[in-house]
Amino acid sequence: MKVDAPIKTALITGASSGIGAATGRELAQRGLRVLLVARRQERLQALSEEIQAAGGQAQIIPADLSAPDERQRLFEQVQKMVGSPDVLINNAGFGWYGYYTQMPWETALEMLQVNVAAVMHLTHLFLPGMQARRSGHIINVGSISGSLPNQGIVIYSASKSFLDAFTTSLYRELFGSPLRVSVVRAGPVTSEFYQNARERPGGLPVPAERFAVSAEQVARSIGNLLQHPRRVVYVPGVLRLAPWLEILFGWVIDRLGPLLLKRYPHGADSHNDDK
Ligand SMILES: NC(=O)c1ccc[n+]([C@@H]2O[C@H](COP(=O)([O-])OP(=O)(O)OC[C@H]3O[C@@H](n4cnc5c(N)ncnc54)[C@H](OP(=O)(O)O)[C@@H]3O)[C@@H](O)[C@H]2O)c1
């Protein structure tokens, strides 16, 4: 007698655009039920309807992940809907470009809440359920700037370095158990990320993304990661050289770095004039 395997559920944060939306489509196509999380409800609703029209399963949970009580509410809602999800994809995040001292303090704190605290908090909330069930995979969407920190993105680089260290420590803690934890170190990706960074106050014009891969390429890597779990995946793969660049040529980047920001005066009132 054929017994159908239960459908797996993936909770995806930052699913209203870019990598998260592409990952929602990709995982739904691969037969997972996806729970889509972000602030913009209408975007989530449209994606959910698109996935369902294509024969997939999707539900939405609007939430602002910068707020601890919203993260707790999300957890409780997911418990009621599906119990413990099989997959947690911590993808929500944003960037800001400019001199650190020009970064509005509120933006720095918000970045820590979304890029760092939400990842910590959701992992802390959902991991025990996965441990009790003895299966689960947590995937954190990091960035190459976590291992190749850059001028102009001080807090962003630090937030993604945090994800690298957080994932590695947790991976080692869970080694030998059936649980999986991975970090995706992506290079530039075509999404709304750069436009959103441009629109935040106090920053310099964000340099255009060069050599960007598509959000769909990152989503495929995330899908493949579920089938072939690894601690780290680079997208594109050539970026596995990036940590070596930092080790071997970090001193060159130290000297070149300020030149890239010196086009703009320190303390200028408006940096976004050529948006
Ligand atoms: N684009 C790149 O070049 C690049 C490279 C490496 C890594 N990454 C990482 O990839 C991840 C996804 O970025 P993306 O490129 O797909 O950018 P994106 O298109 O701007 O998507 C960002 C997602 O995060 C969500 N988000 C932001 N703040 C949130 C909050 N307070 N609460 C809930 N959701 C929030 C946004 O949804 P709402 O606005 O609807 O809330 C959106 O769905 C980020 O972690 C980013 O750091 C991006």
pLDDT tens for 74-114 read: 999 999 999 999 999 999 999 999 999 999 999 999 999 99
Residue type, 146: G
For residue 140, the cross-strand partners are: 90, 183
Q: Do residues 167 and 182 touch, judged by C-beta distance below 8 A? A: yes
Is the minimum distance from the CB of 123 to ligand 1 under 6 angstroms?
no
What are the pLDDT digits (tens) for 137-180? 999 999 999 999 988 999 999 999 999 999 999 999 999 999 99
CA of residue 209 relative to chain centroid, distance: 17
Distance 186 CA to ligand 1 centre (A): 12
Kindly state the DSSP code that residue 114 receives in the 8-state scheme. I
Is the minimum distance from the CB of 202 to ligand 1 under 6 angstroms?
no
Report the range out of 91-95, 194-198, 258-262 with the highest average pLDDT: 91-95
φ and ψ of 88, to 5 deg: -120, 120
Q: How far is residue 43's CA from residue 102's CA, in Å, rounded to a whole number?
A: 32
Which of 97, 99, 100, 156 is catalytic? The answer is 156
Distance 95 CA to ligand 1 centre (A): 8
pLDDT at 4 over 60: no
pLDDT at 266 over 60: no
pTM over 0.75: yes
Q: How far is residue 86's CA from residue 176's CA, in Å, rounded to a whole number?
A: 18
User: Which among 73, 77, 84 has a CA at the least distance from the CA of 59?
Assistant: 77
Which of 113, 163, 189 to mutate to test ligand 1, by most ligand atoms within 8 A of the CB atom?
Answer: 189
Domain boundaries in the chain?
A: 9-261
What is the position in ligand 1's atom list of the atom closest to the CA of 115? 45
| Catalytic annotation present for 156 | yes
- Give the closest residue (by CA) to ligand 1 atom 1: 189
Distance 90 CA to ligand 1 centre (A): 10
Residue 93: the pLDDT is 98
Fold for 9-261, please state it. Answer: Rossmann fold (3.40.50)
Confidence bin at 260 (pLDDT 50/70/90) = low
